[in-house]
Amino acid sequence: MHRSLKFEDIVEAYYTGLYRFAFSLTKNEHEAGDLTQQTFFVYARKGDSIRDPSKVKSWLFTTLYREFLKICRKTKSLTFKEHEELELDMPTAAPKIASQLDAASTVDLLNEIDETYRDPIILFYLQDHSYKEIAAILDIPIGTVMSRISRGKNQLRNLFTKQDTKVE
Amino acid sequence: MNKQEAQFILESYRPGTEDDSDPTFKEALELARKDPELMAWLKESEAFDTLISQGLQSITPPAGLKETILQGATRERPPIEAPVERQEKKVIWWQSPWLMTMAASLAVMLAVTLTVIRPQELEADWSVAKIIDTASSQTSADGAPAQEYINFKDLRARFEAGDIPVPQTDHLPKDLQKGDNTSYGYTAMDWDGLPVGRWTLHDNRGEMYQLYVIDTRYLKDVPTLSTPVYREIQGYAFASWTGGNTLYILEQQGPIANLRELFKYHHDK
């Protein structure tokens, strides 16, 4: 682990955010807990090599995401749909907000959008990272992150509107 | 920049964050200030974003997760004045409940492993030197996790299958045998069919080591190394020795002299 940072402080600062990210990806409390623990185990092993303390947060989220992808690759064949990123979609109008969403409903909603868009959207809404950091964590270009956020939010709005219509 | 382009950029904008000082959003925000329709869309979009963000922020980790992480990955050093005898009685690799369960499974499955697994059936061609080279490459320059890590599910499966190389305490230098904080990490790896267990250890001074543990029955022509053989690669020192059917490779960042001291101290005691 990084020499100038205490392990306990790192855990205290980031375990909640990491768990939220893991839970949003897995929708499973146990898997999210395992992923969060595994991330810190890797940090305990490899954290020494992080030279810049300001990079620790991104490193942890990157590590958690890679661990998640490894699990995905073993359980199914991921099909990343690479869309033409240059084409701009006209953003849809935001739905009128009349209620609050709980954690489970939010995660359910996020998991209904295409996998390609879901991960950047989750990181966007967790608000822990700039879009540049999101690009680094997901290992995709910055322009692609912005495109996926835009498309993902369009899907999310449509899903939310449908859900609201059903409730009514 | 037209309105559509501004909307595209502003989809990634989150007010009240470092995005406010990011020049990428400046022109688009400027356009929104001049265009009431665009500004109305931005406000509605921000309200929707707030709703989703609040939903995610309401996810709370299960009680005890932080403590489990701290217990599993690190331990406070034992007080210097702590009785040595008491420390030696408590050689505990893991205190996490599920790992303790797996350790119990391991004990049950060990006999099965010894009879069912026939390591010589594998066509592994691993020398001690090759193993050290591979161990050395595990520490990547950028700090990214090595690809050989496996997830908890697979780890459980391997424990259940008894396919886990476990070190014998009396094969280790004395400084790595003592205290509750002897180990705080374990990784099961598969190097082209060669099962490798890597244990992260602390000595009594808090120095960290990586111990690679390999069943020699998977290997060809492994010499008996009753005293350690040392090697240094790119700032990492390695000591190799054998005990029973097990090959041990201890890795520490720094010069070989530190590892020699560890074993010298061990023999002196």
Confidence band (pLDDT; 50, 70, 90) for A164? Answer: low
Whether the complex's predicted ipTM is more than 0.85 is answered with no
Interface check for B140 against chain A (CB to CB < 8 A): the answer is yes
- A37 falls within a domain: yes
Structural domain tally of chain A?
2
Rounded average pLDDT over B137-144: 48
Q: Contacts of residue A67 in chain B, CB cutoff 8 Å? A: 145, 149, 151
pLDDT tens string B14-68: 888 888 888 888 889 999 999 999 999 999 999 989 999 999 999 999 988 998 8
Residues 9-38 of B with CB under 8 A from A: 9, 11-12, 14, 17-19, 22
Asked if residue B122 has pLDDT above 50, the reply is no
- A114 falls within a domain: yes
Domain end: A57, A75, A93, which one? A75
pLDDT at res. A4: 61
Task: Characterize B206-218 residue by residue with b for buried, 16 or more Cβ atoms within 10 angstroms of its Cβ, and e for exposed.
Answer: eebbbbbbbbbeb
pLDDT at res. B180: 46
CB-based contact B8 A150, cutoff 8 Å? yes
Confidence band (pLDDT; 50, 70, 90) for B90? Answer: very low
- Run of H or E residues at B31: helix B23-34
B199 φ, ψ (degrees, to nearest 5): -110, 130
Domain-by-domain residue ranges, chain B? 3-57, 65-268
Q: Chain B closest CA to A101's CA: distance in Å? A: 5
A115 and A63 part of one domain: no
Residue A35 domain boundaries: 7-75
A65 and A119 part of one domain: no
A70 and A12 part of one domain: yes
Q: How far is CA B118 from CA B125, B215, B219, in A?
A: 15, 11, 12
Residues 156-185 of B with CB under 8 A from A: 184-185
Sign of CA dihedral A111, A87, B38, A168: negative
Between residues B249 and A167, the one the model is more confident about? B249
Residue with tokens 């100038």: A4
B32 Cβ neighbours under 8 A, 6+ residues apart: B6, B10, B38, B39, B42
- A145 falls within a domain: yes
Between residues B69 and B152, the one the model is more confident about? B69
- Looking from the CA of A127 toward its CB, the CA atoms found within 13 Å total 18
Q: Contacts of residue B64 in chain A, CB cutoff 8 Å? A: none
User: Closest to B139 (Cβ–Cβ): which among A43, A49, A66?
Assistant: A49
Q: Contacts of residue A87 in chain B, CB cutoff 8 Å? A: none
CATH number at residue A111: 1.10.10.10
pLDDT tens string A9-24: 899 999 999 999 999 9
Asked if residue A139 has pLDDT above 50, the reply is yes
Q: Contacts of residue B39 in chain A, CB cutoff 8 Å? A: none
- A96 falls within a domain: no
- B80: exposed, middle or buried (Cβ count in 10 Å: 0-12, 13-18, 19+): exposed
CB-based contact B14 A36, cutoff 8 Å? no
Q: Chain B closest CA to A121's CA: distance in Å? A: 9
CATH number at residue A60: 1.10.1740
- A91 falls within a domain: no
pLDDT at res. A61: 94
- A114: exposed, middle or buried (Cβ count in 10 Å: 0-12, 13-18, 19+): middle
CB-based contact B41 A94, cutoff 8 Å? yes
Mean pLDDT in chain B?
Answer: 72
